[in-house]
Structure 1
Amino acid sequence: MVRRSMPVPRPAIRLRGRHDGALPTHPSTGAGTSASLLPRGVVVLLGLAGTVVAVAGMRSVSDILGPVLLALMLTVTASPIGTWLRRHGAPAWTAGLALIATVYLILLGLGGALVFALARLIDLMPQYQAQFAQLRADATRTLDGFGIGPQQVQELTAPVRAGGVADLVQAVLGGAVGVLSNGFFLLAVLLFLCLDAVHFPARLRKAAQERPEVVGALRGFAQGTRRYLLVSTIFGIIVAVIDTLMLWALGIPLPVLWGLLSFITNYIPNIGFVVGLVPPALLGLLEGGPRLMVAVIALYCLVNFVIQSVIQPKIVGDAVGLSASVSFLSLVFWTWVLGPLGALLAIPLSLLTKGLLVDIDPATRWIGALISSDGSPEEPAAGDRPAAVPPG
């Protein structure tokens, strides 16, 4: 007689931390997902390692990545022109040409003004050879009066020498050639991005049907970038006019050039006015001595610091949803990654990073409340409500 063995019942497998045995649900889809096989600490370490690799890769290709990101920012800013033309029945090629012409005219106008101003500066600098020599002699006497030896005096005063003007002109020419070479690449990238931007709203509408969070994050980045550039442009014009009139009243050479420099450096958060202060302060020292230089520095700090470092960050933070500390840290980080161009793109790149890493996932959207200017929770992204998303 053969005896059948009774099947041994298996114990019910229950997920740790849950008493009902149900699978955890995804916060956005509600579908059950399997428990993570890795501890949370390992996941965090892997994320940090991936971040280090990504940042190192961006630094290695910063010469290419910087102009591409600048072209992306300009295209995103001017894209409503093409969208408006398409909405009013214009053909795609007309909207594309209008978008390209707008961006090119802005760049060429700004670049032409800089080239003209730099040419005037190069013609002006050789006149200050004697002033540089006098500055070296004064610095040598001052250091010698403090008991510093001749060798140390020579090392300290080496930058202030008669040939310093020639070196400065050579550096200006080298920088202009570098900007010009990158400018051709920038114009080429802008051409293709502007042509694609005409059809991009339709592509976003199709993608929103499958990935509404991704589309909402991208649209949030575009809207935040436009608001940031609008606010910065308005404040830049105000600062440029005030600085130009102030330098003209003080008798500083090329006041229009330094006003234009103030307008450009206004896009650098928090400390942009410091970059624009150095050249007119140096010219003030060469023209009228330390008293005129101190006057330039005092007036710049009074006007530019109050506007650019006190008033503007508050309004920019309210417009883009980033706190002042996050804006400053983003300036330091992106300048370290991309160089000087990263300082100009710090806020737009931070908005893009926030959109792709925070706003894209409802499970991480709470981080937006920690880095926002007022600490209020972020509203759901526009892509989470496809029916309410505008076509542009």
Structure 2
Amino acid sequence: MSERSTPRALVMLLVAASAVVVLAGIKAVNTILGPIVLALVLVVAVAPIRGWLVRRRAPSWLVVAVPFSVVIVVLLGMVAILTTAVVQMAALLPGYSGQFNKLVADAQAWAGARGIAPQVNQALRSLDPGKMLGIAQSLVSSVLGVVSSLFLIVVLLLAMSLDAPVTSRIIAAAAAERPAITKALTTFADRTRRYLLVSTIFGLICAALDVVALYVLSVPLPLLWGVLALITNYIPNIGFVIGLVPPALLALLTGGLQSMILVIVAYMVINIVVQSFIQPKFLGDAVGLSTTVTFLSLILWATVLGPLGALLAIPLTLLTRALFIDSDPGLKWSTALVSGELPANRPGS
């Protein structure tokens, strides 16, 4: 008597239900899991430094200390710049209530001249200049929250850095018995490093050009917006828009509508040219994710892990692909769907 196979529709339904349960569990512990994933990605990013030291037969303590120090210096430097700039902005925002009131009065006059004053006035009533102080206070609170979670990230980085040499040897030793999962994890690490390297280089280029443009246009706190442009460069698809909104609004308050338009045009020229035409030629297909999958991963991980999930959307999706797709040779069709590329050496293709 032959065994009846499980219906494919039932299997897909069970997989979808399991995914929902897992994602709900991840969201419940996102304040812990987010820093863990960030620490993992940073440890993977500096792995070539650790490998170079091992090949030079450096002492064990140096193999751990140097990559850990590099990550800490970069992380603390970026947090220090953001903290200083946000504190400056918190002190700066309340002083723009006069400009805000003038913009509201100009908008009301413009609407009255065109007979749409009731609709515009209703929208403007929701805008309160007194809220600027609340925005400034929330910025300071956000910085304090980042500093408090930074301690957890540093502890996780130290623990993972101590375990990294042993973990590398274990993965190398498992290659003979588990070649598929070993290759999948190695590919994940390589793609993550290349993604971070290319995104960082072009993010620095965009940030430097943005800072110059903001200096020329006399927008306050250009360094803050440059660092924000660098950070949002790691957010796929919509990172450019997120980095544009704050300096554009501040330009509106300080220089009026013309200044805001100039900031938007400058950002569009710089970021669209660099990120849409130049960066993809260097990144190529190294990430191995289609445009649709990239965008969906941004929505998914931002919903589950919050802002940190948006920053880590690509590494998280690469890790998920490595664990659940690339590690199973029987799922080549799934790999083609995720990467958006036809399988190689396929008859009839």
User: Normalising by structure 2, what TM-score?
Assistant: 0.92
2:171 and 2:182 in contact (8 A); partners too: yes
Q: Who is 1:46 aligned against?
A: 14
Higher share in helix: 2
Deviation at 1:52, TM superposition (A): 1.0
After superposition, residues 26-175 of structure 1 pair within 5 angstroms as 37-143=5-111, 146-149=115-118, 156-175=123-142
- Structure 2 residue runs without a partner (length 5+): none
Please give the alpha-carbon distance, in whole angstroms, between the structure 2 residues aligned to 1:133 and 1:264.
Answer: 32
Q: Who is 2:253 aligned against?
A: 286
1:317 and 1:324 in contact (8 A); partners too: no
Please give the alpha-carbon distance, in whole angstroms, between the structure 2 residues aligned to 1:366 and 1:122.
Answer: 52
Name which of structure 1's ranges 228-237 and 84-93 shifts more when overlaid on structure 2: 84-93
1:270 and 1:308 in contact (8 A); partners too: no
1:222-274 Cα offsets, whole Å, 9 max, x none, are 00100100110111011011111111111111222211111111111121111
1:136 and 1:161 in contact (8 A); partners too: no
- C-alpha spacing 1:309/1:64, structure 2 compared with 1 (3 Å): farther
2:87 and 2:140 in contact (8 A); partners too: no
- Which of 212, 215, 233 is residue 200 of structure 2 equivalent to? 233
Deviation at 1:333, TM superposition (A): 1.4
| Counterpart residue type for residue 238 of structure 1 | I
Deviation at 1:162, TM superposition (A): 2.5
> What secondary structure sits across from 1:319 in the alignment?
coil
> What secondary structure sits across from 2:93 in the alignment?
helix
Deviation at 1:165, TM superposition (A): 2.0
2:91 and 2:136 in contact (8 A); partners too: no
| Counterpart residue type for residue 260 of structure 2 | M
- C-alpha spacing 1:326/1:310, structure 2 compared with 1 (3 Å): farther
Matching of residue 300 in structure 1 with residue 264 in structure 2? no
Q: Who is 1:350 aligned against?
A: 317
2:40 and 2:160 in contact (8 A); partners too: yes
- C-alpha spacing 1:139/1:206, structure 2 compared with 1 (3 Å): same
1:317 and 1:323 in contact (8 A); partners too: no
Q: Who is 1:377 aligned against?
A: 343
After superposition, residues 303-382 of structure 1 pair within 5 angstroms as 303-313=270-280, 315-372=282-339, 375-377=341-343
Please give the alpha-carbon distance, in whole angstroms, between the structure 2 residues aligned to 1:52 and 1:310.
Answer: 37
Matching of residue 268 in structure 1 with residue 235 in structure 2? yes
| Counterpart residue type for residue 122 of structure 1 | A
Q: Who is 1:253 aligned against?
A: 220
1:119-143 Cα offsets, whole Å, 9 max, x none, are 2222322321211222233334445
1:208-230 Cα offsets, whole Å, 9 max, x none, are 23212111111111001001001
Aligned length in residues: 344
Please give the alpha-carbon distance, in whole angstroms, between the structure 1 residues aligned to 2:288 and 2:36.
Answer: 24
Deviation at 1:157, TM superposition (A): 2.0
2:108 and 2:117 in contact (8 A); partners too: no
1:89-140 Cα offsets, whole Å, 9 max, x none, are 1222221111211111110111111112222222322321211222233334
Q: Who is 1:32 aligned against?
A: none
Please give the alpha-carbon distance, in whole angstroms, between the structure 2 residues aligned to 1:198 and 1:143.
Answer: 66
| Counterpart residue type for residue 332 of structure 1 | I
1:352-387 Cα offsets, whole Å, 9 max, x none, are 1111111101000232223325x14379xxxxxxxx
Please give the alpha-carbon distance, in whole angstroms, between the structure 1 residues aligned to 2:290 and 2:229.
Answer: 23
Please give the alpha-carbon distance, in whole angstroms, between the structure 1 residues aligned to 2:38 and 2:253.
Answer: 36
Deviation at 1:148, TM superposition (A): 4.8
| Counterpart residue type for residue 261 of structure 2 | V
Name which of structure 1's ranges 228-237 and 97-106 shifts more when overlaid on structure 2: 97-106
User: Normalising by structure 1, what TM-score?
Assistant: 0.82
Q: Who is 1:178 aligned against?
A: 145
Two-structure CA RMSD over aligned residues (Å): 2.1
Deviation at 1:144, TM superposition (A): 5.1
Please give the alpha-carbon distance, in whole angstroms, between the structure 2 residues aligned to 1:143 and 1:64.
Answer: 49
Name which of structure 1's ranges 124-133 and 96-105 shifts more when overlaid on structure 2: 124-133
Please give the alpha-carbon distance, in whole angstroms, between the structure 1 residues aligned to 2:278 and 2:310.
Answer: 19
